[in-house]
Structure 1
Amino acid sequence: MTALVFALQPEQVCIAMDTLVVGADDRMPMAFQRKFLSFSESDLVVAGTGHAGFINGWFQHLQSNLRGATIDDLNEEAPRVFRASVSAEGGLSGLTATIYHFGYSTREQRYAGYAYRSEHSFRSDRLQYALGYKPVVSVTPNDDIRFPEFLIDIILEQQRQDCLQPIAERVGIGGEIEFVVMSGRTIHVETVHRFSSYEAEAIHIERRAEA
Structure 2
Amino acid sequence: MCFQRKFLAVPESDLVVAGTGHSGFINGWFQHLQANYGRATIDELDAYASSIFRESVQAEGGLSGLTATIYHFGYSTQEERYIGYAYRSEQNFRSDRIQQDALGFKPVVPVTLNGNIRFPDSLIEIILEQQRQDRLLPLAERVGIGGEIEFVVMSERTIHVETVHRFSSYEAESIHIEQRTDA
Same fold (TM over 0.5): yes
Higher strand share: 1
Residue correspondence of structure 1 range 97-112 to structure 2 within 5 A: 97-112=68-83
Identity %: 77
1:158 aligns with 2:125: no
What is the CA-CA distance between 1:139 and the residue it aligns to?
2.1
Aligned partner of 1:51 in structure 2 is: 22
Q: Distance in 2 between matches of 1:109 and 1:203?
A: 46
Normalised by the size of structure 2, how large is the TM-score?
Answer: 0.96
The higher-RCO structure (CA 8 Å, 6+ apart) is 1
1:142 aligns with 2:114: yes
User: One-letter code of the match for 1:117?
Assistant: R
Aligned partner of 2:172 in structure 1 is: 200
Structure 1 vs Structure 2 CA RMSD: 1.0
The superposition leaves residues 173-198 of structure 1 with CA deviations (integer Å, 9 ceiling, x where unpaired) of 00111110001111000111000111
- The runs of at least 4 consecutive aligned structure 1 residues that moved more than 3 Å come to none
Q: Distance in 2 between matches of 1:143 and 1:162?
A: 25
1:119 aligns with 2:85: no
Unaligned runs of 5+ in 2: none
What is the CA-CA distance between 1:74 and the residue it aligns to?
0.5
Aligned partner of 2:13 in structure 1 is: 42
Q: Secondary structure at the match of 1:155?
A: helix
Q: Secondary structure at the match of 1:100?
A: strand
Unaligned runs of 5+ in 1: 1-29
Q: Distance in 1 between matches of 2:61 and 2:115?
A: 48
The superposition leaves residues 30-51 of structure 1 with CA deviations (integer Å, 9 ceiling, x where unpaired) of 2123221111121100011111
Q: Distance in 2 between matches of 1:140 and 1:34?
A: 26
What is the aligned residue count? 182
Normalised by the size of structure 1, how large is the TM-score?
Answer: 0.83
What is the CA-CA distance between 1:138 and the residue it aligns to?
1.3
Q: Distance in 2 between matches of 1:133 and 1:65?
A: 29
User: One-letter code of the match for 2:97?
Assistant: R
Higher helix share: 2
Aligned partner of 2:151 in structure 1 is: 179
1:73 aligns with 2:44: yes
